[in-house]
Chains A and B, each alone.
Chain A
Amino acid sequence: MVLYYVCITWIVHRSGYEHTESLFYAEKLKLLFEAKQNQLVILGTTFPSMVFLSNLIFIPLGYLFAPVAASILVMSILYYFILRNHLSTKLPMNIYVPMVTALFMFHPGMVFAAVSGRSIAMVLLFFYLVYRSFFNYYRSQTTFYLSLSSIYLACLIFSNYNFIWLLIAFFPFIVLVSLEGIKVSKDQPPVLQYHEALNNRSLRRKLANRTAAIYIIIFLLPLGAIYLFRTLNQAHAGNPEYFLSSQYSNWAITGLKAIDNLLVDAKGTILTKQTQIVYHFFILLLTPLFIVALVLYKGKIYELMTILSPFILLSVLLIANRFYLSVEYLLIFLMLAMLILIYYAGKTDHSVRRMRVMIFIGIILSNIGGFYYFSKTNDVEEKDFYEALLKGGAFKEDRALSEQKQIAQFIQDVTDGGGKVMIDDAAAYGIVAHLESLNNILLPFQPSFVTVVENPTLSVNYMCIAKRENRLHNFTVLNAYNIEQMRRRIGLNLLVMFETPNWVLYKISN
């Protein structure tokens, strides 16, 4: 699987495809090891931390490749974990192994998660592990699995902060799970069991204590970890929410696609479906494997509620929906489908043949659903990936250079010649990531940046500016608007040295 993903990576990257999240991590890695200042802030506040920390392992492979290598490895580990779960499933191996392999190799979302260098791989891994721990807990009723779910949940939140809302999604089923440890008539429906438990003082107290205990055990580690991270951010960056709100530490600030911008672009149709209830059904349509899994499911009511809890997460995220929900919110349902099939499919009365047919159809349709999603996605970078993937034959042609790479090469020539360049990596992290060296580069983490930005003529020769067309124009101080202000204020004389659709490198000629 690793080799397969490496090949795909090679193919899509030859056509110039790079994901900005991957570039963001690459740039932070570069700053961490090559800039001699502020390393603690970079290491201690770059978010999501699980993803960033996993990238550290792959530094020897190069800053640019490290995030991709990490996501490839994580997806391969996930593949391995799922295959290893054959011990827990009653599905025949000749159904199980092809099913898993087909999904990991041919679903464009899974391939995207592996080769993009995004946090999706980590999200999928920990999402899978959280729910697997729950199902294991239901089977064994041991604290071990409950504590594992808590640890994995903390990791999941530190891979994508939006998943903190799962804490709300977990509430309903935990109330029911707590009934399991109470001595009530188990052959009755849950409602009657509840009735029995609530009408007995001792059982009622035990039920309340047990419910609270499960909540606390699941939530303490994630919440404790967040509290710790906030305190560290407060101590070192002066703002407890720095990891969430600063474009210097969190790619999501600049990387998530705001709905307003997407509506202006008017490309793709998925965004229009991202409303309450509609999107839930739409996801079901795109993941028929999940429907198949539900058909083959046979379990208790709280297990079903556990399975459905990600829909609550979706609903919560859609309530204040300002950003496009990218492909990971689709893929988590495939993970869940796998888990249901692993733990519950063999329990039903369906014949092996019927199961094989159903799962086969589910996989085919889910993969088609994946292609449909990418063809209609509103996320520009997902779209770019899809196009690069479809242009698979392009690897025979010369390697295409991305926009950031082109401008980085030019800047490199300038700095090698002794010119000093000012860049704001709030938006230009992709360019910084591509630079071979940080010599003669002035970046915001350097103390002199604030002074220089007031009057660049004294200290630098060049400025890398985000044009008005640049999606990240408003996230950086070095943008077209501010340059105009500088021109007026201090009579800045600028010469265009190099220009791309989103960036321009000016020479200061004062």
Chain B
Amino acid sequence: MVSAGMFSEEKLRDIASIADEYNYAFIKAALNFGFLTRKEYVAFLEKENYPLIDVRNEEIDEYLLEQCDLHHMNSFLYIPLRRDGSGTLLVAAADPLDEKLIAGLTVKFNCRIRMLGASDLDITWLAHTKRGIFFVKEAVFSLMRRDPESSGIITFTDGQLAVIFGLTILFFVALGFSFINTSVVTNLFLSLTFLFAILFKLYLALKGSMSELHDSVTKDEIRAVDDSTLPVYTILLPVYKEDKLIRKLIWNLRSLDYPRGKLDVKLLIEEDDDKTLNAVRALDFPANFEVIVVPYHMPKTKPKACNYGIYFCRGKYLTIYDAEDIPDSDQLKKVVVLFRKLPDEFIVLQGALNYFNKNENLLTRMFTLEYSYWFDYMLTGLQSLDVPIPLGGTSNHFKLDKLVELGAWDPFNVTEDADLGVRVFEKLYKVGVVNSTTLEEANNEPFNWIRQRSRWIKGYMQTFLVHMRNPRKLIRRIGWRGFFGFNFFIGGTAVTFLLYPVLLLFFIVFIIFDIKAVRALFPDWVLYISIFNFIAGNVLMVYINMLAVFKRRYYELILFAAVNPVYWLMHSIAAYKGLWQLIYKPFYWEKTNHGLTKVSHSSTAATVAGNT
């Protein structure tokens, strides 16, 4: 390759060093760490008389395949096909010239080996689909087997169903005995729950806003980091039919300030997702990630893919990004520095999420307002109160060994990240917040938004049900403060959205139509509380949203916070959809379409970089 002018001596040494560190084939290191494009390599092989075969359509001897370890095939990019008539073993390999591999296979199979050139992606696909079944089953059922209490495979336990039906019957019996009194008490209870949830959020926001007073990691600390001391860092990129985002993804990864050889990036592609696989194949510049193909298995969810990916990770730390994410360039270094500073019990750090297409339309503006307050204030507030933190979908950074110890993500939970955050706390570990932002693509289409949000709210309900199976035990583990925090933040979020339109409707009917029957539900003191709730609740929510975008210096968004009550109604629609799905399709993963934005993120990224 050197003589062919593909690499300089220096690059060659770099690739060899990476290959040694990861125990990869040379070609794998070259293709996955940004040294070589696949097109160049194919051209080189053809020149060397190794035209690529279509390995996925080759006849394969399963017996031979079973003798090979998936990890070894994945690392050295080969797959034994069959023996030919002369007893020679045909092996498809990404690097048919790899003498070390040939020697190893010769010893292993004790026969002559004939190497055939094949695409590394096809080999990976074939190896994983044929030999990854064990791992994918582990990815799905491991948590359920090891820690059944934490698994969401059962949505409602018998006890929970008994409580729900018992309360429902009690409610209707009480209505039968005294309709007005029961309605008034219910009205009051709902109003107070709503008010308390909002006051709690305001308190959290104020606590969280105090975090502005100091940076958990300063720029000086980042500058002082010695690159040679940095550990290998795994980045998981679960994708499904995201072919249009692959190019963006590579550019975003390239902007990360972390030594190239220490970034173990895994692009997790589903078995049936040829679109994304072909997009990777068609790249005309070097990729800086390794493709892992997740074999087919239900449920087809992101946590399952991530769990599968874990079996192939090499890093000390691990994070997840979505394909369209633009993390701050120094995010990984910040995480390493912060992990070094924090006590060992901190095993996860959550970065802030925000949007690069914030000004695209009203929905993206509202989304930005919401995310700004959620990640900048709520999570830091929860951290300062030492109560469970529901992790965000991406940019959560784990200590890999601890993640494995916890049983990783629950593939049956559609907000596996929030669930994991609570589980971390339950197992007496801690979640921290790192002062670094990842820009994502905000959902800019209302129906797509409702799909996504219904999944999130359903996931919160699932998480609530899973961890409330035995409230007494939960209190013992996380204490009363954690218990109330969990109830109001995880349970309260869903309940608030479900209640909002009901209370709003009652209130509007009362104010505008003054219907007698409704008036009976509002004795003076209930009316007082309801008015207080309605105005104070809405004003406070608007206010909290304003604070967060002010911190972000998105001044132009401030006034849009006034539309928050309408945005809440959209939440309510999503909440009812989520509730319906929780009952009928609890594991169904509402896929959110990405790549709908027409906004380029480069200018936004520059702005954010300037601001942080």
Contact = CB atoms under 8 A, between A and B. Distances in A.
B539 A235 contact: no
B528 A228 contact: no
Interface string B513-527: 000000000001101
Interface string B549-577: 01101011011000000000000000000
B543 A143 contact: no
B551 A142 contact: yes
Interface stretch (A209-217, A383-391, A398-406, A485-493): A209-217
B508 interface: no
Contacts of B547: 143, 146-147, 217
A216 B561 CA distance: 11
A143 B524 contact: no
B531 A144 contact: no
B558 A209 contact: yes
Interface in A234-255: 235-236
Contact of B536 (A140, A210, A212, A228): A228
B209 A144 contact: yes
A144 B555 contact: no
Interface-central residue, A40, A146, A216, A217, by most chain B CB under 10 Å: A216
Contacts of A144: 206, 209-210, 212-213
A64 B602 CA distance: 67
B528 A235 contact: yes
Nearest to B524: A40
Interface stretch (A52-60, A219-227, A274-282, A466-474): A219-227
Interface string A139-168: 010111011101000000000000000000
Contacts of A181: 553
A206 interface: yes
Interface string B156-193: 00000000000000000000000000000000000000
A220 B539 contact: yes
Given A209-B556, A224-B535, A227-B535, A143 B528 contact: no
Nearest to A143: B551
B542 interface: yes
Contacts of B536: 224, 228
A190 interface: no
Nearest to A43: B528
Contacts of B556: 205, 209
B528 A217 contact: no
Given A144-B212, A144-B213, A235 B531 contact: yes
B555 A206 contact: yes
A228 B546 CA distance: 19
Given A140-B212, A143-B212, A206-B555, A220 B546 contact: yes
A217 B524 contact: no
B212 A212 contact: no
B209 A228 contact: no
A232 interface: yes
B206 A216 contact: no
A213 B213 contact: no
Contacts of B555: 206, 209-210, 212-213
Contacts of B311: none
Nearest to A44: B528
A89 interface: no
A147 B206 CA distance: 8
Contacts of A231: 531, 535
B480 interface: no
A214 B556 CA distance: 12
A142 B206 CA distance: 12
Contacts of A142: 209, 212-213, 551
A40 B524 CA distance: 8
B126 to A, nearest CB: 54
B308 to A, nearest CB: 41
B148 to A, nearest CB: 43
Nearest to B530: A235
Nearest to B211: A144
A40 B209 contact: no
A181 B549 CA distance: 14
B558 A228 contact: no
Interface-central residue, A144, A205, A220, A228, by most chain B CB under 10 Å: A144
Contacts of B580: none
A216 B558 contact: yes
B535 A217 contact: no
B64 to A, nearest CB: 64
A46 B312 CA distance: 68
A140 B528 CA distance: 39
A284 B213 CA distance: 35
A212 B547 CA distance: 13
B547 to A, nearest CB: 5
B200 interface: no
B539 A224 contact: yes
Contacts of A217: 543, 546-547, 550, 558
A208 to B, nearest CB: 9
B109 interface: no
Contact of A143 (B209, B532, B539, B559): B209
Contacts of B559: 212, 216
B212 A220 contact: no
Contact of A228 (B524, B532, B548): B532
A221 B551 contact: no
Interface string B204-226: 00100110110000000000000
A362 to B, nearest CB: 32
B144 to A, nearest CB: 43
A348 B553 CA distance: 32
A350 B291 CA distance: 68
Contacts of B532: 228, 232
A181 B528 CA distance: 41
B213 A224 contact: no
Nearest to B542: A220
B32 to A, nearest CB: 41
A235 B534 CA distance: 13
A125 B539 CA distance: 25
7 contacts: A40-B524, A44-B528, A213-B555, A214-B550, A217-B550, A224-B536, A231-B535
Leading 7 A-B pairs by shortest Cβ distance: A209-B555, A224-B539, A144-B209, A142-B212, A213-B555, A143-B551, A228-B535
Given A143-B548, A216-B559, A217-B543, 15 more contacts: A142-B212, A144-B209, A147-B209, A148-B206, A209-B555, A209-B558, A213-B555, A214-B550, A220-B543, A221-B543, A231-B531, A231-B535, A232-B531, A235-B527, A236-B524
